[in-house]
Amino acid sequence: MERMDDANETMAYPGDGGGESLPDLCLRLHAGQMMTWPLLAENSVALASVCERAFGLDGGTVNVVFNPGRINSTKADTDPAAVARRPCFLCPENRPREQESILYLGEWLILCNPYPIFPRHLTVVHREHRLQDIRGILGVLPGLARRLSPVWSVFFNGPLSGASAPDHLHLQAVPSGALPVETDSPSVWNLKTVHEREGVVLSFGTHAGRTLLTMEGAREEPLSRILIEVVDAMERVPPTPGKPMMNLLGRFRDGRWTLFLFPRRQGRPEVFFREGEEQILVSPGTVEMAGTIITPREADFLRMNEALIRQIYRDVSADAGAVEKVLDSFREHYLSSVSCAGKCPEEG
């Protein structure tokens, strides 16, 4: 295997049609790391015995999981000053000595996450230390989701939407189908088609305090174009002032992509900021928005109930009215681009 300049890099993905598939390569990486990296092995074994409670909410499922291994990520101080002070744990010089990687398309490294939420949880980091910005992954996530299928689905946590490394561009991959939103019936979310173009369907739905945009289609190019236009619209009319906040999950199955985009308005719910026993440590990222709420403290796990789940989701989700504004802007922009491209010269 080719060995690159990063100290712990061991394998390189040969590309489409180049031999070993990406899932096979990643399964081999993970199996090897379970033998050579005690931290990963211990945390993976512990994962098998985590406690879980399933809540049925309006026909859908939300799972609450007690996972003490996630405490540092949940409590991570993502204030820019604090982030600037600490060494970046995704940069090669600070990564654990035992952590090996797969070079993906020249720019990305696939790693095993030593604090897994699900079995074989992967982190996909950019080789350069650059900001966690949605623009950096829009062209990467659909292709990665396709290549990692059918074993993994891929997700992105925005810098103020659950990412504990807002300073280093990265994606994550978890077992495909593990997150409830992937298997919820569309009726659970009351999904309504809002736009259709070149075989891609954009839909909008709500459930238990959350809002969700889905994009579904069999062709990567129009799918990516509509995703970019949705993100453009979120930048024009963000649900809260500043950079748009979001979580994005992509899966590929039976020749079709489904992208799940959760527009956000707040990084953490009100209960996170309470004092003493009133506090509940929950820091929603894609995993939580997609229906699996991680509680690293047992007391929080035991206290969780339906009303609290709805409140947490309401606190951090963009509300339906704000998402409607994004969709209005999306449509207006699309219609103006169509009319300019097709009609303006003739009319002029």
Separation CA 103–CA 279 (nearest Å): 41
* Positive or negative: CA dihedral 46, 48, 52, 58: positive
Which lies closer to Zn ion via its Cβ, residue 88 or residue 322? Answer: 88
Which lies closer to Zn ion via its Cβ, residue 27 or residue 83? Answer: 83
Strands of the sheet containing 9-12, edge to edge, are: 9-12, 101-104, 108-112, 122-126, 170-175, 152-157, 245-253, 256-264, 210-217, 200-207, 192-197
What are residue 66's DSSP bridge partners? 51, 295
In the complex, minimum distance from the CB of residue 84 to Zn ion, in angstroms, rounded to a whole number:
12
Binding mask 155-174 for Zn ion (x = CB under 5 A): -------------x------
| Interface size with Zn ion, residues (CB under 5 A) | 5
In the complex, minimum distance from the CB of residue 167 to Zn ion, in angstroms, rounded to a whole number:
6
Which lies closer to Zn ion via its Cβ, residue 91 or residue 322? Answer: 91
Which lies closer to Zn ion via its Cβ, residue 26 or residue 90? Answer: 90
Structure tokens at 316: 């951090």
Stretch that binds Zn ion, among 67-75, 82-90, 101-109, 306-314 (CB under 5 A): 82-90
In the complex, minimum distance from the CB of residue 83 to Zn ion, in angstroms, rounded to a whole number:
10
Which lies closer to Zn ion via its Cβ, residue 88 or residue 327? Answer: 88
Separation CA 291–CA 344 (nearest Å): 46
In the complex, minimum distance from the CB of residue 162 to Zn ion, in angstroms, rounded to a whole number:
18
In the complex, minimum distance from the CB of residue 90 to Zn ion, in angstroms, rounded to a whole number:
5
In the complex, minimum distance from the CB of residue 165 to Zn ion, in angstroms, rounded to a whole number:
7
The residue number with the shortest CB distance to Zn ion is: 88
Helix axes 320-342, 220-236, angle to 10 degrees: 120
88 binds Zn ion (CB under 5 A): yes
Stretch that binds Zn ion, among 3-11, 77-85, 89-97, 115-123 (CB under 5 A): 89-97
In the complex, minimum distance from the CB of residue 168 to Zn ion, in angstroms, rounded to a whole number:
3
Closest residue by Cα to residue 66 from 77, 53, 51: 51
Closest residue by Cα to residue 155 from 252, 222, 19: 252
Separation CA 113–CA 178 (nearest Å): 16
In the complex, minimum distance from the CB of residue 121 to Zn ion, in angstroms, rounded to a whole number:
19
Structure tokens at 155: 């997700």
Stretch that binds Zn ion, among 52-60, 84-92, 173-181, 191-199 (CB under 5 A): 84-92
Which lies closer to Zn ion via its Cβ, residue 48 or residue 81? Answer: 81
Footprint (CB under 5 A) of Zn ion, residues 90-129: 90-91, 129
Element (H, E) at 305: none
Separation CA 16–CA 147 (nearest Å): 8
Binding site for Zn ion (CB under 5 A): 88, 90-91, 129, 168
